[in-house]
Chain A
Amino acid sequence: MPSGPPRKVRDARYGALATLALAGFGLVLIGLLRLQVVQHDELQRLAEQNRVRLDVLRAPRGAIRDRFGRLLADNQPSFDVVFRPMPAESVSRARAIVRSAWLATVSALVQDDTLAVRRRVEEANRTGQTAVLRRNAPYAVMAAVEEVRADLPGIDVQVAPIRRYPEGMLAAQMLGYAGEINDQELSDREDEGYKLGDLIGKSGIERKYEDVLRGQNGAEFVVVNAMGKRVSTLREGPPRLPVPGHDVTLTIDLGLQRAVEEAMAGVQRGAAVVLDPRDGSILAMVSKPAFDPNEFSRGISNARWQELSAQGDNPLLNRAVQSAYPPGSTFKIVCMLAGLRSGLVRPDSHQPVACNGGFTFGGRRFGCWDHRGHGSIDLITALEFSCDVYFFQLGLELGLDRIEQTARALGLGERTGIDLPAEVRGLVPSAEYYNRHFRSGHWPRGVLLNLGIGQGELLTSPLQLAMMTGEIANGGHPIRPHVVRAIQGVPEFKIGKPVAPGIEADETAWNAVHEAMVRVVSAGTAKGAQVPGIEVAGKTGTAQNPHGRDHALFVCYAPADHPTLALCMVAENSGHGGVVCAPLVGRLLRTTLLGDSLAIARGARRDSTAADTTGGDVD
């Protein structure tokens, strides 16, 4: 006998399950009958002509504004010449239409290669998707198309939004640009609902905040006539309205951004970052040379793209976050802090060997930048005049671990976590690093000399240096640099936690560093950065560059007693930081701190009401 319940019970359960299954299949049959008998005529008609087309209703991309609501990016309509596929008995009909005469006329109209047009039209007929033949067509082309459209089946005009950047080249690399999605991006992100012809952020904020900026396309099913003209909306599928993208408000201050761009007008290649040391918000970010993102919106030719991306200056590169430079003497601040924190030196400590313009170590002579020599000086004076000989010896005293630990606590050698793509990590060498590059445990102590003055393997981005300066200005509190302040409609948007832990040091150490940096500007290497009536604290740097002239660097914060901005400026291949950058920064600081335009940089309250009251000059 079979185990389990008796046969009768099994039969009853069998009956129940079979009945349920039959009911399901019955439902399928009802569905089939509804389509194939009741709605047959109507669906037959639609199939014969296959006149149902899916029209995408494009969602407008979110706007980007500065902290006071001034516009940095929005959308404007453009006109595309498109080919609507001929779904109706498509193969034969399409063949009949796409004859050489048709192709010749259309190619001439859109001013494109006959072969390219043919390829796109065939692709459209195969996939049933609309093909764009001429994006952002100028008025003359539109007029010509309108004139002859009736004789050109399949050709249509479609309105599509393109991106507009009213400030042109201003903050171009930070804003980035949005362009038509390419095949690679399409296959990578197909499951996120991207379709051919969609805009997608390619770089900068446009890319990093793609998900909030893009919105959600809507769509409707339309019934079209044989010429591809819309007759009605299909009642089977109600239209789904597009959901606009979210507007994004940046921490950038457009006025300050302009001032930095103007100050750097003469710099061929370089970068600058200005941030608020109190919270890490980026107030301005410049990278030179720049490009005009509007060029990409209008559709960029292959040749122009090559020109922009391949040339040595690479304007598409955001040097402020994507380039790393040796910090040069700006790194002496780190060594000074490391020395004071560890108790190895006091502010008034002298080094055993006085500066006579050079220092002999391991049988080699290492020169000070000032060959006349600085004599025997204390720590504060050494920073003021950036004495290399002092910091050679300090580097040797500190040793690798103390230097590395202090640099990393300030966020060097690690990505800051800024909300911009492709940030560089930079490099703070560790013992492990040297073990990898020299025989393990046998790297020369001479590397410490180089580290002491910020040369050698060290690499930092201008952003990292600005963050470091900000953290020194605020007494060692860690900050998280960020460019987006708020996203409209996403109240839960939050700025991430700082990546590095920040730094702790006692009161005397901070006072010494601040005093030394103030003296750098008031009497030392950076007198060009002075602002009448306001104390500025800074440090110059000159980064040796094996490929050409030295890079000039300058970091500073101001006002020194209650800092509201910290900045870093780098000018590639242009010489000494004190000679090149400090005067530029000085001009910038005088116009912004003394001028009336920048409430924020002058330390006005930075709550949200500030944004409302000053947001008047939107054009």
Chain B
Amino acid sequence: MTRLDAPLVDWPLLLATLGLLTIGLLTVYSATSVPGAHQGLWMKQLAWCGLAFAAACLVAGIHYRLYDSLAWPLYGLSLLLLVAVLAVGTTKLGARRWIALGPLQFQPSELAKLATTFVLARFFDHSRLDLRRPRWWLPPLLIVLVPFALVAKEPDLGTALSFPVMLLALYFWAGMPAGQLLLGVSPIFNVALFFVTGSIGWFIGLFAVLLAFARPRLGLLLLVLGLNGAVTFTLPHLWNHLHDYQKRRIETFVNPENDPTGSGYQIIQSKIAIGSGGVLGKGYLKGSQKALAFLPMRHTDFIYSVVGEELGFLGALTVVVLYVVVIVRGFRLAAVARDGFASLMAVGIVTALCFTILVNMLMTVGWAPVTGIPLPFLSYGGTALVVNCLQIGLLQNVALRRREF
């Protein structure tokens, strides 16, 4: 049981978030201090911070049962908006991700992430939940598939992938055995390993080990074997039947770094910026201009490169530590939450957040594809900032009510 004298607001979570927002504002200021098109953006970002904080307080104040009961309508609304964005959205840098609301631009995929979390949490919070039966594990798959497909179509693979990742975490949290879960996603590893290694041998080896540990029931075993068999035999055929330009398109979709005139250049510049920062950095406002004047997204997707260059490894490490506090406290709240919905909601939120953070950071150090997703709390951008703060607000909501009877 939670100690009765424990404070209700989760202070480490709150302080770490405020710390990240501060670093973000300072870095946006620094990144846009070079003469150029984006000067003065930090003022707007400051205004967004205020709005985001107010919004976070608001969602923290309302009992999460309301979100529970509003889950499906919100989900429906967000799907409508996702369809709308494909139809009438604004195209920036090759993707339709925004809907214009007067002077503001709004990214429905962020809202969809929250709404899907609510729906999944509501679904898994069922007294008769039994994840060994398809009628219980299949619906969440469909719930996630629709927004995933719509967001991937924008195209925004980075954001789209956070939906299935969230689902995996929730399956696990709701009680699906880890081995079974890994078996379920084995066709994905199958495809990935095929692309990376070009042979099926690696996968067969890993699959055998997995089978030995998971010891699935016969039905599941047959299903998984069937899926993997289908993937193994159709994939090379499909691939060979594609034309070169179609293959290129897929490769660029999966890994935009392949386009050297575009994001490949950014990766190299990002690496140079971070690497040249060294352990101590070049000093706030002192380093970035030269290297980063060449980086068009230095205040958005590549803001972590600016941190790495100006504040060095120590600064970058500080940011990592703050994120770790947010994530670990988040999972902790899920563990101590008052009821099932709150707990599941917290896990969904934290997983999505963590995935976004890691994909962005690994991208700036050159270990993940450039998929165009911002770094939560640090990157410039209104919708993402508000939604990220809402996510923290929801976690605080769980914290506030963890001793309720």
Contacts and interface: CB of A to CB of B under 8 A. Distances in A.
Contact of B275 (A4, A44, A237): A44
B366 A32 contact: no
Interface stretch (A46-54, A163-171, A478-486, A594-602): A46-54
Given A32-B308, A128-B293, A24 B358 contact: yes
Interface in A481-516: 490, 492
Nearest to B402: A2
B324 interface: yes
A21 B331 contact: yes
The winner among B173, B261, B293, B312 for most chain A CB atoms within 10 A is B261
Given A87-B294, A191-B91, A47 B268 contact: no
Q: Which of B173, B260, B274, B293 has the most CB of A within 10 A?
A: B260
Contacts of B272: 43, 46-47, 50, 52
Contact of B175 (A5, A29, A236, A239): A5
Contacts of B260: 54, 218-221, 237, 239-240
B277 A28 contact: no
A14 B331 contact: yes
A28 B36 contact: no
A137 to B, nearest CB: 24
A36 B312 contact: yes
B91 A18 contact: no
Query: DSSP class of B's interface residues: helix, strand, loop or mixed?
Result: helix
B278 interface: yes
B163 to A, nearest CB: 17
B347 interface: yes
Nearest to B36: A126
Given A4-B343, A14-B334, A218-B260, A21 B327 contact: yes
Contacts of A18: 327-328, 331-332
A128 B243 CA distance: 35
Given A3-B340, A32-B308, A44 B276 contact: yes
A21 B289 contact: no
B84 to A, nearest CB: 20
B95 interface: yes
A40 interface: yes
B346 to A, nearest CB: 10
B94 A190 contact: yes
Contacts of A610: none
B268 A31 contact: no
B274 A36 contact: yes
Nearest to B358: A24
Interface in B340-378: 340, 343, 347, 350-351, 354, 358, 361-362, 365-367
Interface stretch (B12-20, B60-68, B315-323, B388-396): B315-323
B216 interface: no
Interface string B291-326: 101100000000000001100110011001001100
A56 B261 CA distance: 7
Contacts of A234: 268
Interface string B259-290: 11110110011011111111100000000011
Contacts of B365: 28, 31-32, 34-35
B375 to A, nearest CB: 11
B338 interface: yes
A37 interface: yes
A438 to B, nearest CB: 38
B262 A193 contact: yes
Nearest to B252: A193
The 7 closest A-B pairs by CB, nearest first: A191-B94, A43-B275, A31-B365, A47-B276, A35-B275, A219-B260, A14-B335
26 contacts: A2-B338, A2-B340, A13-B335, A22-B324, A25-B320, A25-B327, A27-B358, A27-B367, A35-B366, A40-B279, A42-B275, A43-B274, A47-B309, A50-B290, A50-B294, A52-B269, A90-B290, A91-B289, A126-B36, A127-B294, A191-B95, A193-B261, A220-B260, A234-B268, A237-B260, A239-B260
